[in-house]
Chains A and B, each alone.
Chain A
């Protein structure tokens, strides 16, 4: 941490903001883990509790917003203080979205648990683990002011994208095989999409951590998974007989 301000209450307010973000992050991690367990354990009551818990994250985001507005208006922050406050605002928004996706996964879990299990469901935990790991690591990077660790997460999103594309392909096969698979497989597609989006928000948070620490935006192109889902569903050219 940077040395303390002469005005101690400024430090208290910054610490409070940091604490709110940390709590949001902890809740989002927990909710994502619970949403995934509610699929693997077929636990719909856990899914329902997870859906309800999202309101807490929303409340904390409002608290973070209010704290940011107060700090900007009353402290006129500059340099690393300014960057810390702006990063907090954007990271809070990112975590709120991640928690929303966790809620969506939980909603799908409730519907999915009422249907006969389909094979691709066993691929969900792998994507889920990758998403949870990214979230956990990016939040650690934020707490530790670690730009290197943030960049490591930023570069890792490719893996999650690839897992998503391969699940997408697998799910399509099952749908084509048996029309009765379409309903559960559609839920799985949305679940996988939500997890993939969580990875995107983690990379955004990583960029904010990098900016907060260094004062610069990370340069260069983020590596993208080579296999895009658009290629998977591209119409096959019909060759005339």
Chain B
């Protein structure tokens, strides 16, 4: 008989919670080429879910389905049922701009606007009409930068260009920019691949803090990073979701041979 690990009250509450995001039979095509095959997944709230897999396995494609970033690619077609809090993401009634405010995104290469640090953060709230007074804008700039762990480093130079920051600071500025519009989900596509280990550690620490308030999904090529930061790990291979489970289980006793082969460096 297998021993049942003790479950804390907090954990059982999380388990009882409804998934934040769901996908059923998600298929994605680039022209005639199919990139994703019948992916089913439930993403739990206030957790970090890592998508891992070799290049071209479809993990980034799948990530981008959730905030309809694939809409921007002409030849890309998405089918299946994707929901945020039970609401159909691909429904005609959905305002894609609103959707992307609720599901923010951070990219591989830090991409601050060529504007000041303050304007980078204030831009989203302004265009979404979330703020009106100057004091409200200042408050949102400060809290967003604080949550992104950047406030103390930039508070005396908010009017300087965001592009003048170091790579790690720029990435945290992009996270602050995503947070400023009060998203529910933050998608991160290789957020640390351009950063040094110290900047990476700061982002990882930040992610752990952010999960108190947000649901995070990270696509990463670093298996060690997936193991360090996530609670759930999904392994993709050739457009299919091969295995999805607790990160601890995936990295100690994966059920699928392909998962094992990939995370132990036996095929790539």
Most buried by B among A2, A3, A80, A215: A80
A149 beta carbon closer than 8 Å to chain B: no
A177 beta carbon closer than 8 Å to chain B: no
Q: In the complex, identify which listed stretch (B56-64, B74-82, B102-110, B248-256) lies at the interface while the others stay far away.
A: B248-256
Contact B252 A215 (CB under 8 A): yes
A214 to B2, CA, bound (A): 12
Contact A216 B223 (CB under 8 A): no
Q: Name A's interface SS.
A: loop
Question: When A78-B223, A80-B260 are in contact, do A220 and B253 touch as well, CB less than 8 Å?
Answer: no
A234 beta carbon closer than 8 Å to chain B: no
Question: When A2-B260, A80-B260, A83-B252 are in contact, do A216 and B266 touch as well, CB less than 8 Å?
Answer: no
B73 beta carbon closer than 8 Å to chain A: no
Residue interface mask A1-23, B partner, CB < 8 A = 1:
01111110010000000000000
Contact B252 A220 (CB under 8 A): no
Interface size on B, residues (CB 8 A): 20
Q: Which of B233-268 contact A (CB under 8 A)?
A: 250-254, 259-261, 263-268
- B253's nearest neighbour on chain A, judged by CB, is A215
Contact A219 B1 (CB under 8 A): yes
B199 beta carbon closer than 8 Å to chain A: no
A239 beta carbon closer than 8 Å to chain B: no
Question: When A78-B223, A80-B260, A219-B1 are in contact, do A4 and B252 touch as well, CB less than 8 Å?
Answer: no
Contact A216 B253 (CB under 8 A): yes
Q: Which of A216-240 contact B (CB under 8 A)?
A: 216-217, 219-220
A-B contact pairs, 9 of them (CB 8 A): A3-B266, A10-B265, A78-B251, A79-B251, A79-B252, A79-B259, A79-B264, A217-B3, A220-B1
**A interface vs B, CB < 8 Å?**
2-7, 10, 76-83, 214-217, 219-220
